[in-house]
Amino acid sequence: MSDEASKIPCALIVMGVSGSGKSTIAASLAERLNWVYEDGDRFHPASNVAKMRAGQPLTDQDRWPWLQAIADEIDRVCESGGHVVIACSALKRAYRDVLVHGRDDVCIVYLKGTQLLIADRLARRKGHFMPPGLLDSQFKTLEPPAADENPVTVSIDAPVETIVEDIVRQLKPGSADDRASGRNSP
Ligand SMILES: Nc1ncnc2c1ncn2[C@@H]1O[C@H](COP(=O)(O)OP(=O)(O)OP(=O)(O)O)[C@@H](O)[C@H]1O
Ligand SMILES: [Mg+2]
């Protein structure tokens, strides 16, 4: 994060294409920081869940209420003094703008990796069916976060623990890590 993002974050949004490791990294990061972990998919309205179950793609119109629900949750957690790590693909800038909604205490964490590496991980992932072509379309849709979004960008070509430490190191010194170590100390 640059100096402009001066506020200590209360919410981290872990973003990236399907299979980039959002759920894995966000859960591990939350545990490391002693923050709450949330999967963004939990905030879909019933109509979206029904569509997805029927194998129908979501439109952006479908997505706005879902993204707004996550933004509302961020407000709720931050206003009550809590801290949350949210896994959410947030592939487009417009989606992230809804999630962050101008807050300087919400930080984007971008999981960056090649299509080859991610395809390999998805092929090995158990209990998930991936329609062919989905990863292609995810990469086509992906708008990597721009510099003015002050993202923390990490390479996913590393063990989970290394990625988590990379994120913690990049977060503003004296913020998440110090507070987390204070909370975690016996
Ligand atoms: N750093 C890593 N090294 C090795 N395997 C990993 C790593 N991170 C994640 N994985 C594995 O890659 C697969 C995809 O990870 P995960 O399910 O967390 O991705 P995701 O971004 O949440 O995907 P989706 O968008 O479909 O929910 C899983 O099988 C996970 O165990
Ligand atoms: Mg996931």
Q: Are 21 and 146 in contact (CB under 8 A)?
A: no
Between 103 and 7, residue with greater pLDDT: 103
CA angle 34, 88, 39 (to 5 degrees): 55
Q: Is 87 helix (H, G, I), strand (E, B) or coil?
A: strand
Residue 172: how many CA atoms within 13 Å on its side-chain side?
Answer: 20
CA 174 to centroid of ligand 1, rounded, Å: 29
**pLDDT for position 5:** 45
CA of 75: how far to CAs of 29, 34, 62, 101, in Å?
A: 20, 19, 21, 10
Mutation choice for ligand 1 from 43, 112, 121, CB with most ligand atoms inside 8 A: 121
State the DSSP code for 104. T
DSSP string, 9-77: PSEEEEE-STTSSHHHHHHHHHHHHT-EEEEGGGG--HHHHHHHHTTPPPPHHHHHHHHHHHHHHHHHH
What global pTM score does this model have?
0.91
Whether residue 183 is predicted with pLDDT greater than 60 in this model: the reply is no
* HEC-encoded secondary structure of 7-24: CCCCEEEEECCCCCCHHH
Q: How far is the CA of 142 from the centre of ligand 1 (A)?
A: 17
72 contacts: CB under 8 Å, gap ≥ 6: none
Q: What is the pLDDT of residues 138-159, one digit of tens each?
A: 999 999 999 999 999 999 999 9
Beta bridge partners of residue 111, listed in sequence order: 154
What digits encode the pLDDT tens for the residues 89-143? Answer: 999 999 999 999 999 999 999 999 999 999 999 998 888 777 778 899 999 999 9
Give the per-residue pLDDT at 182.
41
Residue-level pLDDT at 35: 98
**4 or 87, which is more confident:** 87
Q: Which residue has the tokens 């992932």?
A: 125
Please report, in angstroms and rounded to a whole number, the separation of the first and last CA atoms in the chain. Answer: 30
pLDDT single digits (tens) 89-103: 999 999 999 999 999
| pLDDT, tens digit, 9 for 90 and up, residues 35-77 | 999 999 999 999 999 999 998 999 999 999 999 999 999 999 9
Separation between Cα atoms, residue 160 and residue 183, nearest integer Å: 22
40 CB less than 6 Å from ligand 1?
no
Residue 175 has pLDDT above 80, yes or no: no
| Nearest-angstrom CA–CA distance, 136 and 122 | 13
